[in-house]
């Protein structure tokens, strides 16, 4: 099911090291050849939302949107980390993975600008998941860690359980 995908522990799929700052990069611009013009976004600079995608054949999709709510510009470059959690702040099974397309490119966010990441998961049970009831506990939120940073951005989750032991992932952030 994950052929051609990069697991979060695979070094080849890690975001590239940011290049030195340059003044000629435009806010909101993304380019593999343009270095970062602003520091990495910290969790407390961002808000997150999930927009539902079109489901089909046991597959589910949503767009994760991170918006810069702070004054200074900052950069999102890569994948970050994802963790599902319940109402009691308990981490739920999450098998976060990284798809190589789209590849990481710096997205500079001025205040109010956003970056997005397409997410994909399944509601098809793994053989060892319960046959009756939900395949996994239902998350209350998705906890997002921005690329190259620590801290969590809580994002409400209303999409039901994530089967296959919390198998959830997608490509890198892109400009919105």
> What are the tens digits of pLDDT across the range 70-108?
989 999 999 999 999 999 999 999 999 999 999 999 999
| pLDDT confidence of residue 7 | 39
Q: What is the pTM of this model?
A: 0.80
Share of the chain above pLDDT 90, in %: 76
Interior/surface letters 101-120, b for 16+ CB within 10 angstroms, e for the rest = eeebbbbbbeeebbbbbbbb
| pLDDT confidence of residue 8 | 37
Residue 48 CB contacts under 8 Å (≥ 6 apart), including other chains = 64, 65, 66, 67, 142, 144, 153, 154, 155
Residue that wins the pLDDT comparison between 34 and 124: 124
Residue that wins the pLDDT comparison between 37 and 25: 37
Whether the pLDDT of residue 109 is over 80: the answer is yes
| pLDDT confidence of residue 148 | 87
Among residues 168, 172, 173, the alpha carbon closest in space to that of 60 is found at 168
| pLDDT confidence of residue 44 | 96
| pLDDT confidence of residue 5 | 38
């Amino acid at each position: 099911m994950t052929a051609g995908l990069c697991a979060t522990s695979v070094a080849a799929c890690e975001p590239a090291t940011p290049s030195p700052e340059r003044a000629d990069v435009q806010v909101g611009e993304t380019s593999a050849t343009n270095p970062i013009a602003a520091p990495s976004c910290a969790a407390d600079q961002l808000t997150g939302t999930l927009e539902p995608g079109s489901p089909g054949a046991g597959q589910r999709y949503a767009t994760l949107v991170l918006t810069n709510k702070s004054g200074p510009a900052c950069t999102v470059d890569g994948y970050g980390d994802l963790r599902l959690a319940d109402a009691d702040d308990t981490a739920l099974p999450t098998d976060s993975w990284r798809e190589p397309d789209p590849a990481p490119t710096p997205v500079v966010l001025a205040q109010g600008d956003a970056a997005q990441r397409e997410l994909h998961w399944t509601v098809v049970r793994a053989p060892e998941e319960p046959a009756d009831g939900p395949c996994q506990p239902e998350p209350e939120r998705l906890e997002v860690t921005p690329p190259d940073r620590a801290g969590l951005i809580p994002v409400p989750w209303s999409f039901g359980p994530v089967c296959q032991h919390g198998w959830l992932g997608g490509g890198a952030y892109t400009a919105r």
